[in-house]
Every structure is written in C-alpha cells, then in structure tokens.
Amino acid sequence: MDTDSLQRSTPYPPAILRPVLTLGITQIIGFGTLYYAFGVIVTPLSADLGITQTFAYGVLSVALLIGSLTATLAGRLIDRHGARVMMAAGSVACAVAFLAMSQIGSATGLIVTLTLAEIIAPLVLYDAAFAGIAQAVGERRARRAITQMTLLGGFASTVFWPLTLTLIEGWDWRVALMVFAGLHLFVCLPLHLSLPRPVRNEAVRATEPPQFAPLPSALHRRAMIFLAFGFSLSWAVMAAFSAQWVPVMAAIGLEQTIAVAAGALMGPAQVIARVVEMMFAARRHPMETALVAMLCLALAVAVLALAPVGMIAASIFAVLFGVGQGLATMVRGTVPLALFGLAGYATRLGRLAALRMVVAALAPFGMAWSMAASGPGVTLWITCGFAMLSLAALWLVPWRALQN
C-alpha cells in the first residue's frame, strides 16, 4: 500500500486535524470580521459618522489597496519567524484595530482604523493560514489539510452576517466592533499560539518527500510570472461578479428575485467542488485542478453571454462559477507549494496576494464602468476573455515536464 492510500485508510492524525480545526476557526473569525461584517455595519456606521455609504465603501477599497502593499512583507515575516508567531501578532494587532475603530467619531478615524485593519489582514487570512498549515503538517499532507481548512473558512459569511446583525440590533455597531476585538484577542490569539513550531516538522519532511517534485530553480521565474498573471486575471473575474452579480443580472433583463435565487447556488457549488477535489483528485497535480477552475469560470461567463436570459442560464452560470471560485480559492495555496516547495512559500504567497488584492479592489469598478460605457453584452465578453487568458497563462506554467 502506497503512502497516499495509507493516509486515506487510517484515522485522521491529530497532528493534522488540530491545525486544520485551529486555522479553520480563525479564518471564520478573520474573514467574518475583516470582510463580511462591513456590509452589515456600513449603514449604521455611516449614519453615525455623518458620511455616505459610498464614501465608506471608497475608504474600504483604498484600505484594501494599501493593505496589498504589505502582503509580500507579511509573507517574508512568516517565512522568517513562522506562521505561529506572526499570526499571533496579527491577532493582537487586529484586536487593537477593531477596538480603536469602535471609538471613532469622524471620517478621518474611519480612514485610519480601517486602513490599519487591512494592513494587518495579510497576517491572519488565508495566505498566512496556508503557510501555517504547510509548516504544521509538511508538504506532502498540506494539500488535503488546506482543502479541509478552506471548507471551514467558507462558513465565515454564514456565521458573521447574522451575528453582526444581531449585535447591531441588540446594541449598536460599536459594541459589534468591540466583540470582534475580543474574538481576535481571546479566541484567535490562543489558537494561533497553539500551532506547532515549524522546526518540529523537519523530521517529517525528511521522511515524507513531497508528492510532486518541485520545479528546478531555473524555471521558477517563468512559472511565477505565468502563475501571477493567471491567478490575477481569474481573481478579477471573481471579484467583479461577486460585487456586481445583481446589477449584471438586471442589465441583461433578469429579475432580482431570480438573480438572488440563482446566486444562492454558488455557495453549495463551492463546497461540493472542494469536497470532490479532496476525495477524488488527491493523486493529480494541483495545476490540473487550477486549470479546471479557470475553465469553469470561462464557461460560466460564456453561458451567461450566449444562453437565453432566464433562470436556467443563471443557474448554470452560478454552479459553474461557484465550482471555479471554490477551486480557485484552494489552489492559490496548493499550487505554489507543489511548484516551488516549502522554502520561501509564504513569501511567494505574499507576492501573489499583493497583486490579487489590487485586482480585487479595482475589478468591481472596472466592470461597473464597462457596463455603463459599453453595456452588458460587451462587458460579459470582456470578462470571458479575461477568464480565457487566465486559463492560457496557467496552461503555460512549465509543470508538465516533471510529470513525464
């Protein structure tokens, strides 16, 4: 029996289960407080501060752009000091940022505290957690563990949309932010400190070589360029539709109730795609999963552009888009690890994240501008072109030579 079969046939080792659960919980809190809660808090916060919601969202976009500048540094710090130390430091800093935000009384205070929170975010969200998983369980077991951790992290919106609304309705948005500070300080901090030190896994890495041979150093630059280009274009597509889903559906003539009903299929599709990948694609290179993800995104937009407007087309789009998005989120952690190995892993994730965060901040505005200037038809084909270019870029990553 080979190593992969043995791992699937034996009980899940506590040494792997513990970091998966630990980081899954902290990702729910991290994404819930730093991302999803803002859409619920923005209305009472804007009214209290005397600003428009448009201004508040503009502050968030600028904060995301500034935060992208720190992603590479965050990766380097994680490689140097370990995810355990840096994610714990990030938890403390997040608690301070949310506590400070709960006390603001002006637009200036929002700009400062929200920017601080987004600067810290790369230390506590997925890219840091991917590095934490790899450092905790080793390269060979990291792929499955990353998949399972992202399954847990996917519940962030499910938990924090209703939780934030309950806190606001029961108290106010300031209390909600103080609760968020407490979650980072009293839940995330001890969980991050419970992660094993990277040095404990050196013996494991020596006895369990990576499942896939990493690329030779001569190919690293070429692979990284194509990977960055492909991932960034795919994230532009996902970020644009995530923010503009309902307006796009309305522009092509679909009723809002139908658009929302179809959009509800995205979440289950993401989860199912990750489960299927975890169960049946363990022997395949993560780049194959990445190509499937990009193909699903391209097909999803093509269906929306070509098919007659209606519930069927919208549902097919939502399922394909959900599958592509679910797999794309996961492979951004598994592909760099398989291609380049654990050395410098967090730094590479930080570089990719910096570019991705810039694209994610600009893409919704780009789609809105294109919709206004050229209409939905042209916009959909431009978006489909981005998805196809993403697929082509990943196809050109030189990983197949090592599989022959």
pLDDT digit string (tens) for 29-42?
A: 998 899 888 878 88
- pLDDT of res. 1: 40
Question: Which CATH number characterizes residue 103's domain?
Answer: 1.20.1250.20
- Residues 182, 299, single domain; the answer is no
pLDDT digit string (tens) for 357-383?
A: 888 778 877 888 888 888 888 888 998
- Residues 71, 26, single domain; the answer is yes
CA–CA gap between residue 219 and residue 313 (Å, rounded) = 41
- Residues 242, 119, single domain; the answer is no
Question: Is the predicted pLDDT of residue 107 greater than 90, yes or no?
Answer: yes
Residue 393's domain spans which residues? 217-403
Last residue of a domain, one of 162, 188, 207: 207
Domain membership flag for residue 390? yes
Domain membership flag for residue 4? no
Domain membership flag for residue 1? no
| Spatial CB neighbours of 136, under 8 Å, sequence gap ≥ 6 | 15, 16, 19, 83, 145, 195, 196, 198, 201
| Spatial CB neighbours of 34, under 8 Å, sequence gap ≥ 6 | 94, 117, 118, 121, 124, 125
Domain membership flag for residue 135? yes
CA–CA gap between residue 155 and residue 32 (Å, rounded) = 9
- Residues 46, 104, single domain; the answer is yes
Domain membership flag for residue 368? yes
pLDDT digit string (tens) for 388-404?
A: 999 999 999 888 765 55
Query: CA angle, 196 as apex, 194 and 200 as ends, to 5°?
Result: 160
Query: CA angle, 307 as apex, 304 and 312 as ends, to 5°?
Result: 85
Q: What is the mean pLDDT of residues 257-268?
A: 76
pTM of the model: 0.82
Query: How is 306-319 classified by DSSP, letter by letter?
Result: HSPSSHHHHHHHHH
Q: Which residue is it, tokens 């729910």? A: 28
- Residues 322, 271, single domain; the answer is yes
Q: What is the mean pLDDT of residues 108-134?
A: 92
CA atoms lying within 13 Å on the CB side of residue 402: 18
Taking a C-beta distance cutoff of 8 angstroms, is the pair 360, 235 a contact?
yes
CA atoms lying within 13 Å on the CB side of residue 372: 7
How many angstroms separate the first and last alpha carbons of the chain? 23
| Spatial CB neighbours of 279, under 8 Å, sequence gap ≥ 6 | none
User: Among the residues of 124-216, which ranges form H helices?
Assistant: 126-137, 139-153, 156-170, 173-183, 189-193, 202-207
pLDDT digit string (tens) for 188-213?
A: 999 999 988 765 445 555 556 667 77
Domain membership flag for residue 275? yes
Question: Is the predicted pLDDT of residue 312 greater than 90, yes or no?
Answer: no
Last residue of a domain, one of 159, 189, 207: 207
- Residues 147, 255, single domain; the answer is no
Last residue of a domain, one of 152, 181, 207: 207
- Residues 260, 185, single domain; the answer is no
Domain membership flag for residue 3? no
- Residues 14, 163, single domain; the answer is yes
CA–CA gap between residue 175 and residue 160 (Å, rounded) = 14
Q: What is the mean pLDDT of residues 160-174?
A: 90
Total domains present in the chain? 2
More confident residue, 155 or 130: 130
- pLDDT of res. 5: 44
- Residues 320, 201, single domain; the answer is no
Taking a C-beta distance cutoff of 8 angstroms, is the pair 230, 331 a contact?
no
CA–CA gap between residue 32 and residue 24 (Å, rounded) = 12
pLDDT digit string (tens) for 47-60?
A: 999 998 888 888 88
- Residues 278, 201, single domain; the answer is no
- Residues 189, 270, single domain; the answer is no
- Residues 193, 320, single domain; the answer is no
Domain membership flag for residue 5? no
